[in-house]
A and B are shown apart, each in its own frame.
Chain A
Amino acid sequence: MKQIRYLHGAWLLLLAAVLLLGLAITPAGATNKSTRNVLQAQNTTPINATIYIATSTLAPMFQSHIDQQVPVAVNTAIANMVSRLPRQDQGWAQQMATTLIQPSASLVSFVPQQGGIAATILLSLYPGDPKAISANLLFSFSVADSSTVQVTAIPMSGSPSLASGPVSTFHIPVGQLNSVATTPTCGDAALALNLQVPISLGSANSSIQAQQAAMISSSNASLLTALTTQHSSNSTNTSNVGGRFIVHPQSLAPSSVSSYIEIPASSLAAVGSSVGSLPISSSFTAKNIQVSVQGSNLDVTSDIYWGGLNIGTADTLVAPTAANGNLAIRVLSTTLHVLFFNVPYNTYNQQIQQTLNSKLGHAFAGKFYVTQAAIGANSHVPCAANSSLILTGITNIGG
């Protein structure tokens, strides 16, 4: 009986040794070939995301819109008044009115609150107007269509009704819009846009890289034209998984707006399960990939198959990071669990890292240019969960 137990133990050790040897002698070319085969299948995972737009991002967008709209509105009012005069008097009356009145309006406060953003607008009828008119409005937000947010102005009680009713829209170029709400208790964030966003896993291509570059160079222009009256019918196919995107301005570059993207642990798990199988070598494949948050890192576990046989599990600890504008990971350690043995095995860390990064490399391509990635809330996004992945990046909200 004792001999049988020894034989059983020896067999396990032998099997473990064979497995490790098999991993060690795998030709690199074979690994790359099988990796490419898997990655050729583009895999899109929809996640339910929320974009939080910072107050300091929204306010300039509104100011820009006001700058455009106030002269138009006043000129229209003057034209209406002048049109009632005899034709021979319209010219001088128009010139007189436009000489006397050169209006401008500035946002003096812009405060998110439940149900909207309370704004105080100071309307000057001419430069240096000592009697500028103060108006208080509540801007509410609603979904106009799958990619458009409707902005509606509600004059506050006792305040001049500078604007009332639908005043503008802004376009969300990412995903499909589900809902919109203000976030008065979420730090810098003013507005929450709940979206379904498709995350693509697979190999990057040149068009996506060009899209990334274009996004960086055009982000400021997009913000300046953010509040438009055009509606877009763009939409994408997605399904529900939790996720949050926090937009916040940073001084990264004059033409860019930094964003904070929050991807909750549940979304990470969903993205992980959508990866499918990952080739580790020509003989071994990782399947049933699970992603979970472990402290400030991500824990990637998978079943290891040798041919069609499940021979154990792999546990890889990775740290989120950013590389060339993409979400990336850095493998910290890998442990193999074969039968009852936990074997540290870091030989293929680089290979695993490359494989995972090639999948993640364009997960947000064309949507966000990732500059930083970390687990947990930070001072800019205090409402983010500590188990969430926070990406800092650049986006084109409003464009």
Chain B
Amino acid sequence: MIQLALDGGALTSLFVSQLGLQQGAITDISVVPTLNDGVVLSLNLHIDSNGIHRLMPIELDGVLGIDKYQNIQLHILHLKRDGLDAGPAAAANMESALNQMLMNSLMPALRGQLKGVKLISVHTSTSIGCGAGTEMFVLLIQAPPIQGIAAQPTPTAFCFKGPIDLNKLLPH
């Protein structure tokens, strides 16, 4: 068992690489793990068209989970535009869109790197040893034996802080 622990910087870089930011329409994206498997995704949406120049801060408060197909899923609790709650219907729609994004973009990329690995759970924690008390997003995976690394009775934790390359999550 392996714990892949990502701090906000690492988690953010994963989303940035998958969101395919178009022509600066989305900037200042940030994904921060929070207490009780929570995550806060924030970004600035730039609308520049027909003489309109508008910056719309977006914030998503959600809870991380995993579905029966071992896909990371987000349950969005609140969607805020300009700091204003958009209501449950908008939150549900955004949840649907984000989970599509996770399934169509992030998960295939993750699985491509974690071949033969079973995703057991996702959660947030401050008690990961290498996290030094930082709230970390933790992927618990069951990996096949890796040559050169002895099987451990307790999960081995790997911490990623700051921007990461998805291709270097696990040692090859």
Contact = CB atoms under 8 A, between A and B. Distances in A.
Interface stretch (B61-69, B95-103, B119-127): B95-103
Given A81-B25, A95-B100, A99-B90, A125 B50 contact: no
A160 B45 CA distance: 18
B22 A89 contact: no
Given A95-B100, A160-B52, A88 B47 contact: no
Interface residues of B, number: 27
Nearest to B89: A99
A129 B54 CA distance: 12
Interface string A154-166: 0100011111000
B82 A89 contact: no
A95 B96 contact: yes
Interface string A71-98: 0000001000100111011011101101
B111 interface: no
Interface string B79-98: 10110101000100110111
Contacts of B96: 95
A161 B50 contact: yes
Contacts, number: 72
Interface in A74-132: 77, 81, 84-86, 88-89, 91-93, 95-96, 98-101, 123, 125-126, 128-131
B141 interface: no
Contacts of A20: none
Nearest to B104: A88
Contacts of B79: 99
B98 A96 contact: yes
B13 interface: no
A271 to B, nearest CB: 50
Interface string B47-80: 1011110101010000000000000000000010
A96 B90 CA distance: 9
Nearest to B49: A77
Contacts of B105: 88-89
B104 to A, nearest CB: 5
Given A95-B100, A100-B45, A161 B81 contact: no
B12 to A, nearest CB: 17
Contacts of A125: 47, 54, 56, 81
Nearest to B92: A99
Given A89-B20, A125-B54, A162-B51, A96 B82 contact: no
A390 to B, nearest CB: 43
Contact of A89 (B56, B94, B104): B104
A161 B22 CA distance: 23
A65 B22 CA distance: 31
B25 to A, nearest CB: 7
A126 B86 contact: yes
A325 B90 CA distance: 52
Given A92-B97, A99-B79, A100-B81, A123 B90 contact: no
A131 B54 contact: yes
A162 B54 CA distance: 13
A92 B25 CA distance: 16
Contacts of A131: 54, 56, 82
Contact of B22 (A84, A98, A163): A84
A327 to B, nearest CB: 48
A86 B20 contact: yes
A81 B22 contact: yes
Interface in B12-60: 20, 22, 25, 45, 47, 49-52, 54, 56, 58
A162 B50 contact: yes
A323 interface: no
A17 interface: no
Contacts of B47: 101, 125
B98 to A, nearest CB: 7
A101 B96 CA distance: 16
A251 B97 CA distance: 47
Contact of A99 (B51, B93, B104): B93
Nearest to A133: B52
A73 to B, nearest CB: 9
Contact of A129 (B22, B82, B101): B82
A98 B84 CA distance: 17
Given A95-B93, A126-B86, A135-B51, 6 more contacts: A85-B22, A91-B100, A99-B79, A99-B93, A100-B56, A100-B81
Interface of B: 20, 22, 25, 45, 47, 49-52, 54, 56, 58, 79, 81-82, 84, 86, 90, 93-94, 96-98, 100-101, 104-105
9 contacts: A84-B22, A92-B101, A96-B94, A99-B79, A99-B86, A100-B45, A160-B51, A161-B51, A162-B52
Interface of A: 77, 81, 84-86, 88-89, 91-93, 95-96, 98-101, 123, 125-126, 128-131, 133, 135, 155, 159-163
Give the top 4 A-B pairs by smallest Cβ distance, nearest first.
A160-B51, A92-B100, A95-B97, A99-B93
